[in-house]
Amino acid sequence: MSQPPPARDPGLQPERTALAWQRTALSVAMIALLLAFACLRGGFLVGTAIAALIALGAGATLFAARRGATRSTGTSPWTALTRIAVLLIATAALGAVFALIVLL
């Protein structure tokens, strides 16, 4: 059960986890930017501002992203997971509002 912590994992799990964080944060930033442009086109400027903020937050997550994952013991992803989930929920809510605006 208890392996020596510095042992290198041949499955590269910490590296894979860090990469998963990277592509998730990048995708959130991309979608938020897409939504920002869509809102800009639709004349929904408040939406553009919010989406740009979300993209900034995702970018910050990208650089802060789970350096913990590359260490192999004793860190919790909870804060980072919560942050990325909240960013995505905000994007979804904004997208829903934008769809409603187009719908009505």
CA dihedral 56, 57, 59, 61 (to 10 degrees): 170
77 makes contact with another protein (CB under 8 A): yes
As measured in angstroms, the least distance from the Cβ of 23 to another protein is 7
50 makes contact with another protein (CB under 8 A): no
Q: Contact 94/57 with Cβ under 8 angstroms?
A: no
Using alpha carbons, list the distances in angstroms from residue 17 to 13, 23, 71.
6, 10, 11
Q: Contact 15/65 with Cβ under 8 angstroms?
A: no
Q: Which of 50, 55, 62, 84 binds another protein (CB under 8 A)?
A: 84
21 makes contact with another protein (CB under 8 A): yes
23 makes contact with another protein (CB under 8 A): yes
Angle made by CA atoms 70, 18, 3, in degrees to the nearest 5: 35
92 makes contact with another protein (CB under 8 A): yes
Residues lying near another protein in the complex (CB under 8 A) are found at 1-3, 5, 9, 11, 13-14, 16-17, 20-21, 23-24, 27-28, 31, 34-35, 38, 41-42, 66, 69, 72-79, 81-82, 84-85, 88-89, 91-93, 95-96, 98-100, 102-103
